Amino acid sequence: MNILMLAPEPFFEPRGTPISTYFRIYALGKLGHKITLITYPLGKDAGLPALRTVRVPNLFGFRKVKIGPSLAKIPLDALLGAAALLELAGRRYDLIYSHEEAAAFGIRLSRMWKLPHVYDMHSSLPQQLRNFEFTRSAFLISVFRAMERSVLKNSHAVIVICRDLLAQVESAGYGAKAVLLENFLDFPGDPFSPEDIARKKREVAPQGEKVVVYAGNFEPYQGISLLLKAAQRCGEGTVFLLVGGTGRSLAEMKALAAELGIRERVVFVDKVPPSRVPFYVSLADVLVSPRISGTNTPLKIYSFLKTGTPLVATKLYTHTQVLDPGEVVLAAPDPVGFAAGISFALTSVEARARAAAAKKRADAQYTETAYLEKMNRVLAMARHNFA
């Protein structure tokens, strides 16, 4: 099929939804389809052979679009809708595939051109407004809730990335056209040797300290402040390596580490390409996911499970909908509880046994074959429900 995909985000950038979008395009290409992606003016070429990218003009001179809802998205989304209209007028397509809020006009375009529509629901739109503290307006949140219901009703297939979103779609009455497609594919890592790991470990932990690794963005919902307060309670023989911070959020966390008196035990690494992340993850004696809000499962969880390294995660639904207590260490989402979880993971034979069990399940369940099969099911469902 020729697929018109609408992605209201910078593409490609190494962060949540763009990473998910990348692997959707990758899978569609592996299945033999051609994709035209209409997206924001920001981002790098993804280098995917089945992909043709159309970027809306940067009329307002934006240099970045932050994660989550923002005022910058309003004019960019308007341009995205106009570009989609022009694209459909000039080329033949077999299906429209919309990410996030682009589905609001994706469903209208699908009606106008009589095409099936797939909605990729990376998150609940009204929930995003609250999680990112974009607005507390009950009216605006209700508008987004109504828009989300309309998109669910008028889409022919819905992709959800976690069980919580699946439950929301089911409770809205549209579970029959939903497919759970978790973000468990990984970018190939840059090659590195045991000598590279040993050299970096000597740099990060010169006294042979244990290394606790976090990799991801530093947005407030990720719980980096919780992690640093837990680090303060861990022993001197532990170093914390935090990879992925940028700009203001990175500066704030460096300041907090200094305030807590642990700056010498925390190593900050700016955001790196996805292909470089496995190298830093390989340094870990323990991996952590300290997320404190939201209900979407962090993308990092799936790759962490495949490492066989003990994982400590907050005992919240964002994690427990995927993580089994027999495979990871689930810790209370407070500094004392999370520090205790890290200490247990660093010292316990049981924690290493759990990590081995997690790797065994992840290697069997989170495969490219399974991903492609689910994507095929989404397309078949969309065609069937449209007919």
pLDDT at 309: 98
Alpha-carbon gap, residue 97 to 6, rounded angstroms = 6
Percent of the chain with pLDDT over 70: 98
Question: What's the pLDDT score for residue 9?
Answer: 95
pLDDT band, residue 129 (cuts 50/70/90) = low
* pLDDT-based confidence at residue 134 (cuts at 50, 70, 90): low
* CA–CA dist 56, 2 (Å, integer): 20
Cα dihedral value 62, 65, 66, 69, nearest 10: 110
Q: pLDDT above 90 covers what percent of the chain?
A: 87
Q: How confident is the model at residue 227 (pLDDT cuts 50, 70, 90)?
A: very high
Name the burial class of residue 301, with classes exposed (0-12), middle (13-18) and buried (19+) by CB atoms within 10 angstroms of its CB.
buried
For residues 231-235, give the mean pLDDT: 94
Mean pLDDT of 114-142: 80
Q: Which three-class secondary structure string do you get for the chain?
A: CEEEEEECCCCCCCCHHHHHHHHHHHHHHHCCCEEEEEECCCCCCCCCCCEEEEECCCCCCCCCCCCCCCCCHHHHHHHHHHHHHHHHHHCCCCEEEEEHHHHHHHHHHHHHHCCCEEEEECCCHHHHHHHCCCCCCHHHHHHHHHHHHHHHHHCCEEEECCHHHHHHHHHCCCHHHEEECCCCCCCCCCCCCHHHHHHHHHHHCCCCCEEEEEECCCCHHHCHHHHHHHHHCCCCCEEEEEEEECHHHHHHHHHHHHHCCCHHHEEEEECCCHHHHHHHHCCCCEEEECCCCCCCCCCHHHHHHCCCCCEEEECCHHHHCCCCCCCCEEECCCHHHHHHHHHHHHHCHHHHHHHHHHHHHHHHHCCHHHHHHHHHHHHHHHHHHHC
| 161: nearest Cα among 19, 8, 351 | 19
Give 311's contacts (C-beta < 8 A, 6+ positions apart): 286, 287, 288, 289, 301, 304, 305, 323, 328, 329, 345, 355, 358
| Within this chain, domains 2-185+367-386 and 194-365 share the same CATH topology | yes
Domain coordinates in residue numbering, the chain: 2-185+367-386, 194-365
- What confidence tens digit (pLDDT) does each residue in 33-63 have? 999 999 999 999 999 999 999 999 999 899 8
- Predicted local distance difference test score (pLDDT) of residue 264: 95
Structure confidence at residue 235 (pLDDT): 84
Dig out the tokens for 262 from the structure.
């642990």
Whether the CA torsion 230, 236, 242, 245 is positive or negative: it is: positive
The verdict on pTM exceeding 0.85 is yes
Q: Give the pLDDT band (50/70/90) at residue 133.
A: low
Res. 131 pLDDT band, cuts 50 70 90: low
| Class of the domain covering 2-185+367-386 | alpha beta
Residue 14: pLDDT band (50, 70, 90) is confident
Note the pLDDT of residue 286: 98
Residue 284: the pLDDT is 98
pLDDT tens column, 152-171: 999 999 999 999 999 999 99
Q: Where do we find the tokens 């309670």?
A: 233
Q: What is the pLDDT of residue 130?
A: 65
Average pLDDT over residues 326-339: 98
Model confidence band, residue 70 (pLDDT cutoffs 50, 70, 90): confident
pLDDT of 136 strictly over 90: no
- Residues 84, 4 contacting (CB under 8 angstroms): yes
* pLDDT reported for residue 124: 86
How far is it, in rounded angstroms, from Cα 222 to Cα 225? 9
CA dihedral 89, 91, 95, 101 (to 10 degrees): -50
- pLDDT tens for 337-379 read 999 999 999 999 999 999 999 999 999 999 999 999 999 999 9
pLDDT of residue 143: 84
Q: What is the pLDDT of residues 235-280, one digit of tens each?
A: 889 999 999 999 999 999 999 999 999 999 999 999 899 999 999 9
pLDDT at 215 over 80: yes
Nearest to 253 by CA among 214, 280, 284, 282: 214
Residue 140 scores a pLDDT above 90: no
Mean pLDDT for the stretch of residues 201-218 = 96
Which CATH code fits 194-365?
3.40.50.2000
Give the pLDDT score at 118.
98
Q: In Å, how far are 5, 363, 372, 374 from 283, measured between CA atoms? A: 37, 20, 31, 33
